[in-house]
Structure 1
């Protein structure tokens, strides 16, 4: 783990950020309360009267459920809504002998192919993409940032490309997969990559450029519809937002809040007028692989140069770059302390491995995850 103290990194105190709204979607696994293995109880957990003020949704497999915040203006609002949604889902799961788990991939396994939620669209995806569906029992955290127009969204997307590896590493929370240590910090990222519409987004010169790219995905069959544009950053098909999709589901609410605040600061800085660097697709994929492999515990690859650098140096550069926007939103202390805590205590993947090493029992990992969730 790096010994660099990120709290000592200089952060600009001048300038202003754009007051952008944010929202967060979180995907979760359902496991048996005794064995810790996946259980296909999504439909049962979501049955019954809705929880007032909460948006709880099914996912593609019955092993999963999802929550979505409303439009939020502050990190405190995001925290309150995530806490309420996780608590509600945990209560519902407990009523059916299950527990809620915030992990990017299942520690203990389930069926292949996974049981799908009963919906015509999901059946079409199974028919079209075959065994790729076997890997869909994975969970991400999606951060939405409100945008004035699609063109501003693409400015943000172009800037986010440079920082995708840092954001993936910070969130990496899936070292185990069905009873095996994968050797990666984010196995979810690796499993997701074979989808033809997944991966880092292209650089876009215009809204028309974006529309042509998504049209190609649909007409070629790489995506059924706009909802299957699975890039790590995309314009939302249903909301006036740009959506970051590269992150594993965060192990804790506080880590999810830090990610949301950091993404908003990147977006606000992107709209300040500075041109985004035109990151090479090849270097970006290498940097993302490195982030998925090691998380915040290993070296990072600078996607601008391809040179390995200490992760604390890379994330420190991000905090300096968007520091004025963090300060304007009142999020500097939250984000800087959150990043410092990850560097000091380890990310989600490191904590999962630490729990396993105590006795060599995967059930200890599941216990840690359900407690932290």
Structure 2
């Protein structure tokens, strides 16, 4: 029996006015103080003044993670509600004007906005990040090479950004489309091992493409701060159980690959093309896409692809078994993106204006963030 890996979760939230559903542009000092008081050491500022992050402690199991995020979501929401403010947990707001948002004034974020200009100003987006600890001696780039093919499936399960600027985007994860505007934010480069990673990093630093303390923002990356691999591809999940499902699945995949001690070569040109194609299909169609499966490269549904994942990495813990069960439920019943589109369509069908329909979406997302099973 392999030793379980510890893990941590980072959730990003946007702050909005509960009455109107509009994002705040300049939250008051009282709002900022409430966030810090409730989240304490787990609170972090994000790119925009209307955006915050809760970064968890290290967990040993899903029960600990559930308790932590239920508590923090509930207490943050209750405290902020006294100021008329709510938490928006989806990856994109349906109609927030990004042009009105104010960036953080810290040196780090000033440099970020100066370097990336409108790409940064448009990135009013929330993600779900999961860190999984790996044992000493594990080559994290080889581990990533083993995991990268499955990343689009994890994105499918998380999709929550179908709307932007008051319009249906036609994508289930428009957030990941926008992430493509940034450098070093897509799939990881096909690097053979940790040595190749360090040489690549040194090359970019030497040529001015990456700052000395800079980092890659790949869909999955080796953390520079912790001995972890970090999943970054996922949209933020309004439903906490969806977020926990993704964390448990990713942890399970890491544990299984660490236990097998199998060094994978960098992605072949063909497999990288297949992964990139599946990635695009996941962004565009979500759970309704047909994907290129692991067996003989035949087209498969998202549900069948999940079955292939489970056959290859069988659950060996209660957390993993429950994660597979919940993932099947997501694919059968829908993601947040599906529910947002349904709320929008229902409101429009009942005579709501476009702005009112977007408000209905906001209400649905805010409620989902506090609907714990």
TM over 0.5: yes
What secondary structure sits across from 2:168 in the alignment?
Answer: coil
State whether residues 227 and 237 of structure 1, in contact with CA within 8 Å, keep that contact through their aligned partners in structure 2. Answer: no
1:270 aligns with 2:230: no
Which of 186, 189, 194 in structure 1 is aligned with 2:181? 194
Residue 46 of structure 1 aligns with which residue?
Answer: 32
Cα deviation, 1:324-345, whole Å, max 9, x if unaligned, reads xx32x32243112211211221
- 1:166 to 1:43, Cα distance in 2 relative to 1, 3 A: farther
How much is the aligned-residue C-alpha RMSD, in angstroms? 2.2
Q: Distance in 2 between matches of 1:65 and 1:36?
A: 17
Q: Distance in 2 between matches of 1:80 and 1:69?
A: 11
1:22 aligns with 2:13: no
- 1:227 to 1:301, Cα distance in 2 relative to 1, 3 A: farther
Tell me how far 1:127 sits from its aligned partner: 1.3
Which of 89, 92, 95 in structure 2 is aligned with 1:105? 92
Cα deviation, 1:200-248, whole Å, max 9, x if unaligned, reads 1123322121112223344444444555410111111211211010000
Q: Distance in 1 between matches of 2:342 and 2:137?
A: 43
What secondary structure sits across from 1:247 in the alignment?
Answer: coil
Residue 33 of structure 1 aligns with which residue?
Answer: 18
Residue 352 of structure 2 aligns with which residue?
Answer: none
Tell me how far 1:251 sits from its aligned partner: 1.9
Residue 147 of structure 1 aligns with which residue?
Answer: 134
- Aligned residues, how many? 355
What secondary structure sits across from 2:337 in the alignment?
Answer: helix
What secondary structure sits across from 1:198 in the alignment?
Answer: coil
- 1:217 to 1:95, Cα distance in 2 relative to 1, 3 A: farther
State whether residues 5 and 133 of structure 2, in contact with CA within 8 Å, keep that contact through their aligned partners in structure 1. Answer: yes
Larger relative contact order (C-alpha < 8 A, sep ≥ 6)?
Answer: 1
Tell me how far 1:52 sits from its aligned partner: 6.6
Tell me how far 1:53 sits from its aligned partner: 6.4
- 1:238 to 1:268, Cα distance in 2 relative to 1, 3 A: same
Q: Distance in 2 between matches of 1:228 and 1:114?
A: 25
- 1:115 to 1:184, Cα distance in 2 relative to 1, 3 A: same
Cα deviation, 1:47-104, whole Å, max 9, x if unaligned, reads 2563376601110111211111100000111111111222233234323322101111
1:322 aligns with 2:318: no
Task: Flag structure 1 segments of 5+ consecutive residues without an equivalent.
Answer: 1-15
Cα deviation, 1:87-127, whole Å, max 9, x if unaligned, reads 23323432332210111111121342631112011111111
What secondary structure sits across from 1:202 in the alignment?
Answer: coil
Task: Flag structure 2 segments of 5+ consecutive residues without an equivalent.
Answer: 349-356
Tell me how far 1:306 sits from its aligned partner: 5.9
1:249 aligns with 2:236: yes
Q: Distance in 1 between matches of 2:181 and 2:22?
A: 25
Which stretch of structure 1 is more off in the superposition, 53-62 or 219-228?
A: 219-228
Which stretch of structure 1 is more off in the superposition, 349-358 or 51-60?
A: 51-60
Which stretch of structure 1 is more off in the superposition, 208-217 or 241-250?
A: 208-217
Tell me how far 1:21 sits from its aligned partner: 0.3
Residue 312 of structure 1 aligns with which residue?
Answer: 303
Residue 363 of structure 2 aligns with which residue?
Answer: 367
Residue 322 of structure 2 aligns with which residue?
Answer: 334
Which stretch of structure 1 is more off in the superposition, 202-211 or 311-320?
A: 202-211
What secondary structure sits across from 2:191 in the alignment?
Answer: coil
Residue 353 of structure 1 aligns with which residue?
Answer: 341
State whether residues 301 and 309 of structure 1, in contact with CA within 8 Å, keep that contact through their aligned partners in structure 2. Answer: yes
- 1:31 to 1:54, Cα distance in 2 relative to 1, 3 A: same
1:216 aligns with 2:203: yes
State whether residues 172 and 185 of structure 1, in contact with CA within 8 Å, keep that contact through their aligned partners in structure 2. Answer: yes
- 1:332 to 1:133, Cα distance in 2 relative to 1, 3 A: closer
What secondary structure sits across from 1:105 in the alignment?
Answer: coil
Residue 72 of structure 2 aligns with which residue?
Answer: 85
Q: Distance in 1 between matches of 2:234 and 2:190?
A: 20
- 1:226 to 1:248, Cα distance in 2 relative to 1, 3 A: farther
- 1:96 to 1:223, Cα distance in 2 relative to 1, 3 A: farther
Q: Distance in 1 between matches of 2:297 and 2:190?
A: 18
State whether residues 238 and 368 of structure 2, in contact with CA within 8 Å, keep that contact through their aligned partners in structure 1. Answer: yes
Which of 239, 242, 248 in structure 2 is aligned with 1:261? 248
- 1:227 to 1:243, Cα distance in 2 relative to 1, 3 A: farther
